[in-house]
Amino acid sequence: MFGYFGYYMDPTYVLVLVGALLCIAASAKLNGTYKKYAQVRCMSGMTGAEAAQRILNAAGIYDVRIERVPGNLTDHYDPRNKVLRLSDSVYGASSVAAIGVAAHECGHAVQHSQNYAPLKVRSALVPAANIGSKLGIPLVILGLLFGLHSSLVPVGIWVFSLAVLFQIVTLPVEFNASSRALVMLQNLGITGGQETGYCKKVLWAAALTYVAAAASSVLQLLRLVLLSGGSRRDD
């Protein structure tokens, strides 16, 4: 049977380390790419906020507010309140990196206006995913420590699976938003050919962070399943 420290010292912990390294590498890639193209000014001279407003207007979306939020790369679209929030490094910046990020968030607003199915699924999963990310692993640990392999451990694994599912569903949502962003930037003349290519590099680097997060979650789930099976064999 697993000892009290077995959960943390067992060989399957390498799966957690691999997931963490993937996330660190993806984050470093994004930061490096964004920093590089934040130095390249967009020829249109538009700021992130101005580009976002133009894209929304062109898409016939007039009920979404654009707000400035503190931080770096804290940009996001809030579908419940219909607010597109741009970070300090994007809102007033005229770089191709800022324009690309702003356009990506507009992509989410367009998805929302068009009832894009994966976005609706992801939004519906948010409450369950929050519960899964907070309670899944603790339930498994408690089940392993107190020998509740047939009750608490499976519940913990299934609950954590909801968080994993959310990460997986997020992937098509993010990739689609980036694809929409690049098309809109090009069609509206906000960026030229080479500038659109730069934006693509920034958005691709951002997408890798979501891929890494999903992979890390899957590896963590695999570890929980392996621990559960190993614990039953040791009983």
Q: Which residues 6+ apart lie within 8 Å of 181 measured at CB?
A: 100, 103, 104, 106, 107, 199, 203
Give the number of other Cβ atoms within 10 Å of residue 129's Cβ.
22
Helix residue ranges per DSSP H, the chain: 6-9, 13-37, 48-58, 88-91, 96-113, 117-145, 152-187, 193-234
Residue 197 in tokens = 């290519």
Asked about 50 being catalytic, the answer comes back as: no
Task: Pull the structure tokens for residue 130.
Answer: 């929050």
The DSSP secondary structure of 144-165, one letter per residue, reads: HHTT-TTTHHHHHHHHHHHHHH
Please pick, among 50, 105, 174, 195, the residue that the annotation labels catalytic: 105
- How many angstroms separate the Cα of 204 from the Cα of each of 180, 195, 225? 13, 14, 32
Q: Which residues are the active-site residues?
A: 105
